């Protein structure tokens, strides 16, 4: 609870500070234009990669392969699109990091090390019925 409250207070303050500093160097109109342009570009690329992830997920389901990686990548793309829609340079930076497949795999490798080339072992068993009088032998 405290982290979330701190996050929602500090993030806008950092974004406003960065916008003022960058705006004083490149101008207010250019700052606003860059903010709007990054949101449009980010959402466009998130849509393209999201569709690619959905195709890959459908193909993995069709061949009965584990698709947890595609689900996590899809979730990262949703977060990236959300961060890119938010106005500001810091959120755009992290949004583009999640949007690029190379940096996304590095980030996911740190948070989910078991998803990297993970292989699921399946143990097959043959159940047998045990008679009541055989239980205590």
Contact 19, 31 (CB under 8 A): yes
Global confidence as pTM:
0.69
Contact 92, 31 (CB under 8 A): no
Compare 31 and 54 and report the one with higher pLDDT.
31
Please report the pLDDT score of residue 93 as a whole number: 92
Nearest Cα neighbor of 88 from 137, 42, 134 is 42
**26: confidence class by pLDDT, cuts 50, 70, 90:** very high
First-to-last alpha carbon distance for the chain, in angstroms, is 57
Please report the pLDDT score of residue 17 as a whole number: 94
The answer for residues whose C-beta is within 8 angstroms of residue 107's C-beta and 6 or more apart is 76, 97, 98
Cα separation, 96 vs 110, whole angstroms: 18
- Between the ranges 18-27, 37-46, 73-82, 115-124, where is the mean pLDDT highest? 18-27
Q: Could you tell me where the DSSP H helices lie in 63-133?
A: 68-85, 89-99, 101-111
75-131 per-position pLDDT tens digit: 888 888 888 888 889 999 998 898 888 888 888 877 766 544 455 566 777 877 777
Other CB atoms within 10 Å distance of the CB of residue 38? 20
Compare 130 and 27 and report the one with higher pLDDT.
27
């Amino acid at each position: 609870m405290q982290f979330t409250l701190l996050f929602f207070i500090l993030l806008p303050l950092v974004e406003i500070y960065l916008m003022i500093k960058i705006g004083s160097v490149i101008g207010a109109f250019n700052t606003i234009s860059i903010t709007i342009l990054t949101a449009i570009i980010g959402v466009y690329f998130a849509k393209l990669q999201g569709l690619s992830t959905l195709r890959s997920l459908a193909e993995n389901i069709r061949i009965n392969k584990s698709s947890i990686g595609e689900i996590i990548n899809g979730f990262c793309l949703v977060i990236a699109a959300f961060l890119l829609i938010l106005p500001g340079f810091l959120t755009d930076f992290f949004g583009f990091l999640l949007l690029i497949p190379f940096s996304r795999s590095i980030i996911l490798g740190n948070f989910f090390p078991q998803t990297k080339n993970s292989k699921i072992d399946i143990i097959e068993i043959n159940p047998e019925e045990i008679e009541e009088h055989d239980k205590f032998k």
